[in-house]
Structure 1
Amino acid sequence: MAGVGFQLKRLLRRDSLSSDLSAFVYAGIISAGPLILSILGILFIGALSLGVVDPPVLIVQFQVSVTYLISFSLVITGAVQLLFTRFISDRLFQGQHDRVLPNYNGMMVTTTLFTGSLAVCLAIFAFDGTSLSYRVLMVMGFVIVSNIWICIIFLASLKRYSIILAAFFVGYTVTVAVAAGLSRYGLEGLMAGFVAGHFVLLACMAAVMRRDHMSGDRRYMAFEVFDRRYVYPSLVMVGLLFNLGVWLDKFMFWFSATGTRVIGPLHASVIYDLPVFLAYLCIIPGMAVFLLRLETDFADSYNAYYSAVRNGSTLSHIREMRNDMVRGARAGLYEILKIQAVVTLLVFAFGDRLLEAAGISVLYLPLLRIDVVAASLQVLFLGCLNIFLYLDRRGIVLALTALFVGLNGALTWITLELGPNTYGYGFAGALVIVVLVAVFMLNRGFDRLEYETYMLQKA
């Protein structure tokens, strides 16, 4: 274990309430820090621009534009995120460190060419009526943000979470400063600040990564990650489907009767977007527990189990390690459930005050409550998927993510037909079903773990 895992275990080893709290806070900052900085940065830009940007609708256009850049870049790059993660992990496990950096460069070039071509086509044919400078900035923003996700995948594979958080802090500080300084130029000024800050963010991560992971390979660039030997189609589909599943209900609300056109082809749904935004802030405790347990208890017991298998330990010792791993996985999921249940109860009790503090009508309270439930279940689902990926059960993960997309699309469509009183229940209902299925499959997989470890491995 490296990076954040060492830090978390060092804090937990002190065995005191203060050390446990420190580990929890550290895990929360690392796991949700980029999310918090992103949200607060965009909101801060909007607040600073009030009274400067005229008309105020330009601020809304900026925030909607940024939301689309983030959402579509996540979905598009989702197809290669897990594929790249698996390639890096396998090369590091085999001690082939010199092959990592050239393939990172190849992945970045591929991402730039693909997203750049797609963005240029959309800018030319889909954004009639917008200024040329706005289109250029959207293209640049889309390419930069897409590359940021690839760089994050690289650093996360190396457990460099602190570097990711520090880069986001620097990048969003620049974003806010430049956007505020250029806000007098309207939408284009705000977008220029966003692009400049994210370029700095990407440059910071890339610089640290290249400094710490210089390659002994003479090649500057390689594309082995796309070699048939290393391509796992299931991982390509999992990354694409999971990100699509997370955003599908938002897309449907944006382009349904609840949505309104904001700029160019971009729509937004005021009814749906605000509660969802607040709900995702409420999953920070669950994300902290998820990272804390995944990087300590479960990861250690997982490594111990497979080390026992590889080293030919006795059957009783292997079973003991297997039981420790199962307990670690179940305890981690149970703690996510407990902490998010507490958060959900607090939102149910004080949600109206939260909405008032955010300047949002209390009429959104029913939707906020169901969105918090859905977001909490999403963390639990993510925990299950990560355990399956640790166990290399790619087929199960693919089936679960495909089920998630199908259920979210179908149930969200039903709620749109039924009316406002059911909004949000489609996303929540889809997650309830897939979490139950995932837990069932996880228990079944643990029961068959020893058999599958020995009898189903490739010769």
Structure 2
Amino acid sequence: YTVFLLFSGATLMQGALCLWLFLEMVVNWNAMSYLTAIKDYKSILYSFAAAVLVAFITSCVLLALALPPVESLLFAVVLGYGVMLVWDVLLLHRYFPQSRENPWLFLQWVDQFLPLALTGLFTTIGLFAHLVITWCGPLGIKVKGLFYGAPYYDVPAMLAFLTILITTVNFVVSVEVNFYPTYRSYYSLLNDGGTVKDITVAENEMLAVLNRELHYTALKQLLVTAAVISLEKTVLNALPLGFNDAMHGYFRVLCIGYALYAVGNIVMLILLYFTDYYGALTASALFAGSTVIFTVIGQFFTTTLFGFGFLMGASLFAIYAMFRLASYTDNLPYRVLGQQPIVAQTKRGRFTELGILLEYGEQRIDQSLHHTEHKRHARRECGTNITEANNAIGEES
């Protein structure tokens, strides 16, 4: 990203702010994942609220002072995410002890769970590729240097993406909170030697809760999407966003596409709960591949069809994920017990070797710095001794 910024055409201040924001988001994203794992949702909410408040107030103050708008808004966002970073890091230090292991050893888990890394990569490609491809199409414009955009498509896409917040929140508050206790009970019986009857009862209860919560989540998203599509023309025309008929069309198509993506993504996360890594990987790869292919094909047709590429990719993603979850849970005891390796396996691949190499290099650098510091200390002591001896000789003389 630094290389990109150097040749992007951005000014030194803009590039520095973009890089600063990038570095903050790397920490924030990982911190948020850990805090979600420990279920400290209240602390996450507070950090988000503080970040939004600081960014909003800072941007208003800087714009009121008639400072350059681009740099002012970038700095406000950077400052807001900086508050979130500090807050989240303090929370992590509260919950997790200080590790003495080398930080490069995390690379061994990429070899251990490579399908998870690829699942995240493909999901991100499927979610954002249609935007990047559109920047290179008929609607794309050159903002500055290497920065491109397609405002007539990007603005409807951003607003359509916000309509899936109801599903994102509902997954954490409803699906995960209500489903997780039954999920934990089921696996506890399997691990702790529960009777066949108790395991069967726990499995039926878990799947019943899962089906009910998924049904309610999909229904809520359907109602929100339908309401937004019904009211969008009245509301968006009242806002100073410059919406035209084409943008209204993109917004409606993308609302449906993002709704299907939200449902498919939740089902994929449930597949990961059941350790169906390859099912989740296949669903995400299908999502990424189909979205890219259909969006590229759509660039050669009329611009009124833009957005249908993402819609088709999200449809395939949701349909495959639901069928995969249904087939996987039809014979869950076999999936959990029969398909797992009998003996624990440790995978040592290229990422593990890279981690060991980086750890060795860091140790060599530390040893070199320690040796250099030791020599400097010895020289300082020697110089001090010589000075003291000269002073003593001078006093005797």
Displacement of 1:415 after TM fit? 1.9
Residue aligned with 2:267, SS:
helix
Alignment of 1:134 onto 2:14? yes
Alignment of 1:122 onto 2:4? yes
CA deviation vs aligned residue, 1:72-111 (integer Å, no higher than 9, x gap): xxxxxxxxxxxxxxxxxxxxxxxxxxxxxxxxxxxxxxxx
Name the count of aligned residue pairs: 337
Distance 2:271 2:282 in 1: 12
Displacement of 1:392 after TM fit? 0.5
2:182 counterpart (301, 321, 327): 301
User: Within 5 A, what are the aligned runs for 1:169-180?
Assistant: 169-180=49-60
Residue aligned with 2:142, SS:
strand
User: Aligned pair in 2 of structure 1 residues 455, 214: CA closer, same or farther (>3 Å)?
Assistant: closer
Distance 1:175 1:376 in 2: 29
User: Within 5 A, what are the aligned runs for 1:320-359?
Assistant: 320-359=201-240
Residue aligned with 2:217, SS:
helix
Q: What TM-score, normalized by structure 1, do the two folds share?
A: 0.69
2:127 counterpart (228, 246, 249): 246
Displacement of 1:279 after TM fit? 1.3
**Residues 245 and 408 in structure 1, CA contact (< 8 A), matched pair in contact too:** yes
CA deviation vs aligned residue, 1:248-307 (integer Å, no higher than 9, x gap): 111111222211111221111122112112212222222232223322332122112111
**Residues 289 and 332 in structure 1, CA contact (< 8 A), matched pair in contact too:** no
Alignment of 1:201 onto 2:77? no
**Residues 172 and 201 in structure 1, CA contact (< 8 A), matched pair in contact too:** no
Distance 1:200 1:292 in 2: 25
One-letter identity of the residue aligned with 1:342 = L
1:391 counterpart (274, 281, 284): 274
Distance 1:228 1:378 in 2: 28
**Residues 265 and 318 in structure 2, CA contact (< 8 A), matched pair in contact too:** no
Alignment of 1:164 onto 2:47? no
Distance 2:322 2:268 in 1: 10
**Residues 225 and 231 in structure 1, CA contact (< 8 A), matched pair in contact too:** no
Match of 2:370 in 1: none
Match of 2:61 in 1: 181
CA deviation vs aligned residue, 1:1-36 (integer Å, no higher than 9, x gap): xxxxxxxxxxxxxxxxxxxxxxxxxxxxxxxxxxxx
Q: What TM-score, normalized by structure 2, do the two folds share?
A: 0.80
User: Aligned pair in 2 of structure 1 residues 228, 290: CA closer, same or farther (>3 Å)?
Assistant: closer
Match of 2:168 in 1: 287
Residue aligned with 2:299, SS:
helix
User: Aligned pair in 2 of structure 1 residues 437, 212: CA closer, same or farther (>3 Å)?
Assistant: closer
User: Aligned pair in 2 of structure 1 residues 166, 221: CA closer, same or farther (>3 Å)?
Assistant: farther
- List alignment gaps of at least 5 residues for structure 1: 1-118
**Residues 381 and 431 in structure 1, CA contact (< 8 A), matched pair in contact too:** yes
**Residues 119 and 284 in structure 2, CA contact (< 8 A), matched pair in contact too:** yes
Displacement of 1:220 after TM fit? 7.4
CA deviation vs aligned residue, 1:27-86 (integer Å, no higher than 9, x gap): xxxxxxxxxxxxxxxxxxxxxxxxxxxxxxxxxxxxxxxxxxxxxxxxxxxxxxxxxxxx
**Residues 336 and 379 in structure 1, CA contact (< 8 A), matched pair in contact too:** no
Report the RMSD for the aligned CA atoms in angstroms: 1.9
Match of 1:433 in 2: 316
One-letter identity of the residue aligned with 1:247 = F
Match of 1:261 in 2: 142
User: Within 5 A, what are the aligned runs for 1:12-31?
Assistant: none
Match of 1:43 in 2: none
